[in-house]
Amino acid sequence: MKFLILALCIVAAMADPHWIMLDNDAVDHVKSSWKKVSHDEVDILAAVFKDHPDIQAKFPKFAGKDLESIKGTAAFATHAGRIVGFFGEYVALLGSEANQPAIKSLLHNLGTSHKGRGVVASQFSGFRDSMTNYLKAYSNWNADVSDSWDDAFDKAYAVIFETL
Ligand code: HEM
SS (H, E, C) 24-53: HHHHHHHHHHHHHHCCCHHHHHHHHHHHCH
Residue from 90, 84, 86 nearest 47 by CA? 84
Question: Residue 87: what pLDDT?
Answer: 95
d(CA 120, CA 97): 30
Tens place of pLDDT for every residue, the chain, 164 residues? 665 655 555 545 554 556 788 999 999 999 999 999 999 999 999 999 999 999 999 999 999 999 999 999 999 999 999 998 999 999 999 999 999 999 999 999 999 999 999 999 999 999 999 999 999 999 999 999 999 999 999 999 999 999 99
156 CB contacts (<8 Å, ≥6 apart)? 20, 90, 107
Q: Please tell me whether residue 164 adopts helix, strand or coil conformation.
A: coil
Which domains are seen in the chain, by residue range?
2-163 (1.10.490.10)
Whose CA is closest to 26, among 158, 131, 155, 124? 155
Q: What CA–CA distance (Å, rounded) separates 41 from 59?
A: 16
Residue nearest to atom 11 of ligand 1 (CA): 83
Q: Determine the pLDDT at residue 22.
A: 93
Q: Cβ–Cβ contacts within 10 Å for residue 34, how many?
A: 20
Instruction: Give the residue among 110, 65, 118 at the shortest CA–CA distance from 87.
Output: 110
Query: Which residues surround ligand 1 with Cβ inside 6 Å?
Result: 55, 58-61, 82-83, 86, 110, 113-114, 117, 119, 123-124, 127
Ligand 1 centre to CA of 114 (Å) is 6
DSSP secondary structure letters along 74-95: HHHHHHHHHHHHHHHHHHHHTT
Pocket probe mutation, ligand 1, options 114, 123, 130, max atoms within 8 Å of Cβ: 114
Q: Which residues contact 153 (CB under 8 A, 6 or more apart)?
A: 128, 132
CA distance 34 to 145: 10
